[in-house]
């Protein structure tokens, strides 16, 4: 449980970020952005959430999970609504060291979270921390500062009055191989021992 949150000063910090991009498969790999990109996507209606505790999901099948937020445990419905994939050229422009981005693209997952039960949130949310992006089963490298202020991507630390029944869309951008067949969005209720929910989006640009 967090005690305090500070929203990153992206406008001043992005230019100074250093690339820490390594091969896909690393547990905590990161990279840094020079620019942000794709436009937002409208939230769509979804069927009832699956009662499963993890595993492969249909693209229109939401999951249900609990997160220990600052005011108390909140139950969420989780559904990735879209994954945007750039070209290699666009990725090279967005990463501070383009030479290290050869053969790579940026995959931005847009995940909608619906507050289904628990206390109202007054100081942001941690639900997005459990979302990661994989490519053909290998974890990508998170691109820091890429989507917090992008159109259609809300900043989870700006959410200060999130009540039951309301939904917000948060985005995660990862660097993944351009030739990956599937871009997978993972969300894990228990980040240490839990089995992730997995939504596999075909990579139409590969």
- The domains found in the chain, sorted by start residue, are 24-35+60-202 (2.60.40.1240)
pLDDT band at 25 (very low <50, low <70, confident <90, very high): very low
pLDDT digits (tens, 9 = 90+) for 77-98: 999 999 999 999 999 988 888 7
pLDDT digits (tens, 9 = 90+) for 157-202: 888 889 999 999 999 999 999 999 999 999 999 866 789 999 999 9
Q: Mean of the per-residue pLDDT values for the chain?
A: 79
Closest to 43 in 3D by CA, of 97, 113, 108, 90: 113
Going by DSSP bridges, is the β-strand pair 197-202/55-57 parallel, antiparallel, or unpaired?
A: parallel
Closest to 172 in 3D by CA, of 74, 80, 67: 80
Once rounded to an integer, what is the mean pLDDT over residues 108-135? Answer: 94
Write down the pLDDT at residue 21: 38
CA 32 to chain centroid, in Å, comes to: 15
**pTM of structure:** 0.75
Structural tokens at position 199: 């939504």
What Cα–Cα distance (Å) separates residue 144 from each residue in 5, 26, 86, 129, 181? 17, 15, 16, 13, 24
Residue 27 has pLDDT above 90, yes or no: no
Q: For residues 186 and 201, what is the distance between their CA atoms, to the nearest angstrom? A: 11
Write down the pLDDT at residue 147: 63
Closest to 197 in 3D by CA, of 34, 73, 78: 78
What Cα–Cα distance (Å) separates residue 67 from each residue in 55, 122, 134, 190? 18, 15, 22, 9
Once rounded to an integer, what is the mean pLDDT over residues 47-59? Answer: 71
């Amino acid at each position: 449980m967090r005690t305090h949150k500070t929203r990153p000063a992206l406008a001043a910090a992005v230019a100074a970020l250093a690339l820490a991009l390594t091969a896909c498969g690393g547990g905590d790999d990161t990279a840094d952005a020079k620019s942000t990109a794709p436009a937002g996507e409208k939230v769509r209606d979804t069927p009832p959430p699956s009662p499963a505790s993890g595993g492969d999901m249909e693209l229109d099948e939401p999951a249900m999970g609990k997160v220990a937020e600052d005011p108390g445990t909140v139950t969420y419905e989780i559904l990735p609504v879209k994954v945007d994939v750039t070209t290699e050229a666009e990725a090279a422009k967005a990463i501070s060291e383009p030479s290290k981005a050869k053969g790579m693209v940026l995959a931005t997952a847009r995940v909608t979270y619906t507050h289904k039960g628990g206390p109202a949130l007054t100081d942001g949310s941690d639900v997005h921390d459990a979302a990661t992006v994989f490519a053909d089963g290998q974890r990508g490298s998170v691109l820091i500062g890429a989507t917090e202020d992008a159109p259609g991507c809300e900043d989870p630390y700006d959410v200060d009055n999130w009540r039951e029944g309301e939904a917000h869309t948060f985005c995660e951008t990862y660097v993944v191989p351009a030739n990956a067949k599937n871009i997978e969005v993972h969300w894990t209720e228990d980040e240490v021992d839990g089995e992730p929910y997995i939504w596999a989006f075909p990579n139409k640009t590969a």
